[in-house]
Amino acid sequence: MSKSQQKIIGLSAALLLVIVITLTVGITIYGIYTEQNDGTASRFVAKALALPAASVEGRKVAYTRFLLTRDAVKRFINSEAGQDVGAAMPPEDQLNQNILEQLIRQQMVAAIAAQKQVTLSDEEVDEVFNEVASQAASSTQSDIDTYLRDNYGWNQDNFREYVLRPALLEQKLAQQLSTGSNPVALENLLITKRQSEDVVVYLKFSDDSQSTAPSE
């Protein structure tokens, strides 16, 4: 076999590999946006490509964040703590929709806070976390770590970033915007923004025809 033939075969094999990889990634992405696939391949591709589940003024709601939150919610519902408070697993589409809407709300709050120059420091988050920990029945660091890991699959940093910070920022922003004549100013802004073109949803649920496929 001549060198030119070997080169052609090598190029053909490389091209075939590229096509296979492209098709595999394409199929995986399709599964993500139509079925909310959460297998190892889907998680890898979503993280590698930073795939969005939605966006608010260009601020991404990462698909990996959607999965992480869904994992935590499912884990809590199935945990002993979840059963103690009567938590019940909703239908899959309802669960997905609720989680995505909550994540969109957090990004809308963050966008409005940036516009209004309302910020939240790490010290403020830590202060509230320490208050919550001190009010717990058992407040040792080890017990807190165990509770978060067993019931959410999270650590303390996850809890601060995914639960406390968004909640405290929304609370602080609501207080800043609230007036005597309009105590629900933030809620009104959120309703308006959710209906605007600022919010783009990419995930498609079986009962949702409003989603949009992301463009590269």
Q: Is the pLDDT of residue 138 over 90?
A: no
Q: Strand, helix or coil at 181?
A: coil
Residues 62-81: tens digit of each pLDDT: 999 999 999 999 999 999 88
CB atoms within 10 A of CB 135: 8
- CA-CA distances (angstroms) from residue 194 to 56, 178, 179? 9, 19, 22
What was the pLDDT predicted at 22? 45
Residue 56: per-residue pLDDT: 95
User: How is residue 21 written in tokens?
Assistant: 């990889």
pLDDT (0 to 100) of residue 31: 60
Average pLDDT, the chain: 82
The full set of domains in the chain, from first to last, is 3-201 (1.10.4030)
pLDDT tens per residue, range 157-188: 999 999 999 999 999 999 999 877 788 899 99
Q: What is the DSSP string of 92-113?
A: HHHHHHHHHHHHHHHHHHHHHH
The pair of three-digit structure tokens given for residue 99, joined into one six-digit string? 């989680």
Mean pLDDT value of segment 102-126: 95
